[in-house]
Structure 1
Amino acid sequence: MKPSRRNIIAAMAGIALPGLALRAANAADPGAHAFGFERPGAASLSLADYRGKPILVVNTATRCGYAGQMATLEQLWQRYRERGLMLVAVPSNDFGGQEPLDGAAIAEAALQSHGATYAFVEKAVVRGPQAHPFYRWAASERPAETPRWNFHKYLIGRDGALLGGFPAATDPLSPQLVQAIGRELGAG
């Protein structure tokens, strides 16, 4: 993966950027494959385990006005999971305090309210300097496409590259997202 201009300049100046240490420790894992998330009551979820498959990472919140997208995400997941799509829900309380639940209660609420069966990880910060390392990396890769609300979607390519960010208002079954996923599924 080609290093970003920002990372090269920071390295030349001797400045440590958030997330770089994790990437350096995982140099064999390019891009998103260098990161993982904790799962409630289960082993961690490593994005490297999905190398060769596209991954959709979505920050969620059970009390958000966009929470209905959990059902649409389930439709997307059911449509493409057998072809290799991985879908990861990252609950976050960053926007309007709309995720009051913790741990397994989040996945249970999403299942009961929206039929969501895809992977949920532990609640995480998705913006700012305290953000989860994956989100800091994504922000450095695509600064104009960072989460501005719940249900922001990042599409990761089969090679771990960040293919794009899709804002909260983008329906999971929108032509632009479905076509991007389809292109990546067909790339193998």
Structure 2
Amino acid sequence: MELQKYKMPLLDGEMKELADYKDKVVLIVNTASKCGFTPQYQSLEALYNKYRDQGLVILGFPCNQFGRQEPGDSEEIGAFCQKNYGVTFPIFEKIDVNGGHAAPIYKDLKSEAPGLLGTQKIKWNFTKFLVSRKGEIIDRYAPTTKPEDIEEDICKALRES
């Protein structure tokens, strides 16, 4: 997974080179503000605060493709994440993760780490991909997998250089 080939806008419109996250352990998550899994923001932020000094970064990608659970614009999404969960990890502008307009990063993630029975589709909000410092996808996690349940995998990835 060559993160350096992607350049994407953050919620504030600033273009972010994902190459800035080279040599980091990266957890990529498609998010939504009005989903049953939205409280995972709290656990994601806790993991980020606990491990960012060791090299973890979490990248949130809001998506409105599942039950229209992310209807807001960038300003509304940012305010929601900050007010309700104190999110400080990078959140990007809303994207598609499936279909013909899927963001290139998600096309690559799904291709390199297919889901159950080889499906390349993202099934729902809060699907997670853990990427090693070397750019290898360690695992793909279902929306039902709580962030704290992958802490052991994150720690292992942080120890490996």
The answer, yes or no, to whether TM exceeds 0.5 is: yes
TM superposition score normalised by structure 1? 0.79
1:138 to 92, 100, 109: 109
CA contact (8 A) 2:9 2:93 kept: yes
2:136 is equivalent to residue 184 of structure 1: no
CA contact (8 A) 1:129 1:136 kept: no
CA contact (8 A) 2:3 2:22 kept: no
Report the residue type matching 1:187 in the other structure. E
Q: Which runs of 5+ in 2 are unaligned?
A: none
Q: Secondary structure of 2:135's partner? A: coil
2:23 is equivalent to residue 52 of structure 1: yes
CA distance in 1, matches of 2:49, 2:58: 10
Report the residue type matching 2:152 in the other structure. Q
Q: For each residue in 1:83-128, what CA deviation from the matched residue of structure 2 results, as whole angstroms up to 9, or x when unmatched?
A: 1101111000010000011113212101111221111100000112
Q: Secondary structure of 2:36's partner? A: coil
The aligned residue for residue 136 of structure 2 is 161
Q: CA deviation at 1:144?
A: 2.2
Report the residue type matching 1:129 in the other structure. G
CA contact (8 A) 2:31 2:125 kept: yes
Q: Secondary structure of 1:59's partner? A: strand
TM superposition score normalised by structure 2? 0.91
2:54 to 79, 83, 90: 83
Bigger relative CO (Cα 8 Å, ≥ 6 apart): 2
Q: For each residue in 1:13-46, what CA deviation from the matched residue of structure 2 results, as whole angstroms up to 9, or x when unmatched?
A: xxxxxxxxxxxxxxxxx52332232112342222
CA distance in 2, matches of 1:44, 1:180: 30
CA contact (8 A) 1:32 1:162 kept: no
The aligned residue for residue 121 of structure 1 is 92
Shifted more, 104-113 versus 76-85: the winner is 104-113
Q: Root-mean-square deviation (CA), in Å?
A: 1.4
CA distance in 2, matches of 1:178, 1:43: 30
Identity %: 33
